[in-house]
Structure 1
Amino acid sequence: MTGLDPAGLRFVAFDFDGTLTDYVQADTAALRDLHAHCALSTPFGEFLTRAVDEIMAFHARVEAGLGDPLHLDEERLGRTLHACGVTCTPGHLHLYTQALLRATVPMPGAADLLTALRARGVPLALLSNAYDGSAQRARIHACFPEQPFDVIVIAGETGHLKPHLRPFQAMLDRLGLPAGAGVYVGDSPTHDVAGAVKVGLPAFLVHPHARVQDRARQLGAAAVAANLAEVGALLALSTSA
């Protein structure tokens, strides 16, 4: 835990998608519901591949200044359904959104970890790398209806996505604490670890693959873990007096 003072940990902050919830699983489930509702002749595997390609293409357009970041679902699902011969309607968008909310559930161990930290009196923050604050907050609330977070920051609302330092600094400003007072837990070496390190915030990577863990170490991760249970073990050490 290089650079982290175990006795001085005054907050723990988390990424959301890929860390506290499985976006890929939820998105796949919601797309499956949409595919069934539309009774598409296109096999679901092809439909899913197209939908994944479209979300990547959307992000590329936004980064190039060619798209409105708040129109993710409308553009992505519109293009995906159009390729299957279906015109996307508000009803389709609503169906997908509701299915996504139902499928947005905590990662194994997430609720227990947050509950244990809250019981210790450790302030909790969440910094999510999303564009649409309203939609993302709805997903966060669906996942954790007990609202365990003292601070929630949606990166897109700061004008920059991770790994830019602005979202991290906005989170620290909301907490009213310096970067060295806590730790950030995320699943991406590039977005979470590198971004946190930029602002001087110790970062824990949670990811099961050794190659990803190695990349995180190269970018300055204070620690790596395969799952949230291991993160909990690290934080139990880090938050002890």
Structure 2
Amino acid sequence: MSGREPGSTVDPTSETDGAVDAVCFDLDDTLCRYTQSGAEVLERAFDRAGVGRPWSIDDYYDGYRNYLEESTDIVDLRRRCFADLAVAAGHDRETGRAVADAYADLRDREAVELVPGARDVIDALAAEYRLGLVTNGAPEMQRTKLETIGLDDRFETVVCAGYDAPAKPAAEPFDLALEALGSTSERTVYVGNSLRSDVAGANAAGLRSVWVPDGEAVPETPDPPPTYRLETLAELATPPW
């Protein structure tokens, strides 16, 4: 459905034409963002589970890759990792699992919020375009965030790249979204905050890319180049295409 030769890319700086009938979004730091760091969430999870501070967030970040192959999803991975960290710190495995469950609930239900203007943009675009979501991340985690921010019923398709297909910037997750939306790359726009995964992935799949930087340093010449650049997501209520 992408309308491009396999392995080819589109020049995002070339002049585009043709009607747009679908808009796809990234999730993290595009539509939602965390209000607390992982370390802060872990501190609260320890409190909720009724234990001290037996390990740090760096211990988790340093060790989670060891559980990727054997875990069924991010919830299972975190429970396995935290259980082993708890044992290493002199606690039982169930304590580690309790901390993992508290961490997941706090992180994706209480420490996440909508980016300003996101709901208005979604409402405005939904009146004219079919909407999809292409996000890197585990399905359970990403769908929980969507529920938390109240956007769980706003997208016709949700592709969790890295699980449903290879992670962005691969073209495959975009192709899955196009197929589900019944659209083509020439008629679809993708909105994201990351040059490396969002813009590069959209460009590889032949979609027009809208880059909305998330507040970090902005290069004078973005690489890869997006089709459009906006200062804030709210500007998307008046589409640039």
Superposition TM-score tier, normalisation by shorter sequence: 0.7 to 0.9
Structure 2 partner of 1:221: 226
When structure 1 is superposed on structure 2, of 25-34 and 180-189 the one drifting more is 25-34
Contact between 1:127 and 1:152, CA under 8 Å: does it hold in 2?
yes
3-state SS of paired residue (2:56): helix
1:160 aligns with 2:166: yes
User: Which structure would you say has the larger Rg?
Assistant: 2
- Residues in 1 aligned to 2:88 and 2:14: alpha-carbon distance in whole angstroms: 51
Cα displacement (A) at 1:58: 3.1
Cα displacement (A) at 1:27: 4.5
1:169 aligns with 2:175: yes
Cα pair distance change 1:41/1:97, threshold 3 Å? closer
- Residues in 1 aligned to 2:72 and 2:197: alpha-carbon distance in whole angstroms: 18
Structure 2 partner of 1:34: 45
Cα displacement (A) at 1:32: 3.2
Structure 2 partner of 1:11: 22
Cα pair distance change 1:126/1:145, threshold 3 Å? closer
Structure 2 partner of 1:115: 123
When structure 1 is superposed on structure 2, of 133-142 and 109-118 the one drifting more is 133-142
Cα pair distance change 1:31/1:157, threshold 3 Å? same
Structure 2 partner of 1:47: 56
Structure 1 partner of 2:71: 68
Cα displacement (A) at 1:13: 0.8
1:18-38, CA deviations, whole angstroms, 9 ceiling, x for partnerless residues? 211114737455323213234
Structure 1 partner of 2:4: none
Structure 1 partner of 2:8: none
Cα pair distance change 1:209/1:102, threshold 3 Å? closer
- Residues in 2 aligned to 1:4 and 1:236: alpha-carbon distance in whole angstroms: 19
Structure 1 partner of 2:3: none
Structure 1 partner of 2:36: 25
Cα displacement (A) at 1:199: 0.8
Cα pair distance change 1:61/1:95, threshold 3 Å? closer
3-state SS of paired residue (1:153): strand
Structure 2 partner of 1:94: 101
Cα displacement (A) at 1:79: 5.3
Provide the TM-score with structure 2 as the length reference. 0.77
3-state SS of paired residue (2:162): helix
When structure 1 is superposed on structure 2, of 85-94 and 187-196 the one drifting more is 85-94
- Residues in 2 aligned to 1:189 and 1:69: alpha-carbon distance in whole angstroms: 29
- Residues in 1 aligned to 2:155 and 2:170: alpha-carbon distance in whole angstroms: 22
Identity, % of aligned positions: 25
- Residues in 2 aligned to 1:158 and 1:214: alpha-carbon distance in whole angstroms: 34
Contact between 1:4 and 1:202, CA under 8 Å: does it hold in 2?
no
Cα displacement (A) at 1:187: 1.6
1:137-187, CA deviations, whole angstroms, 9 ceiling, x for partnerless residues? 222222225611122111133241111111111111111111121211112
1:47-106, CA deviations, whole angstroms, 9 ceiling, x for partnerless residues? 34444x33xx535874xxx55362432244445555655445333232222222232321
Q: Which runs of 5 or more residues in structure 2 are unaligned?
A: 1-11
Contact between 2:131 and 2:156, CA under 8 Å: does it hold in 1?
yes
After superposition, the CA RMSD in angstroms is 3.0
Contact between 2:143 and 2:152, CA under 8 Å: does it hold in 1?
no
Figure out how many residues of one structure are paired with residues of the other and give that number.
Answer: 224
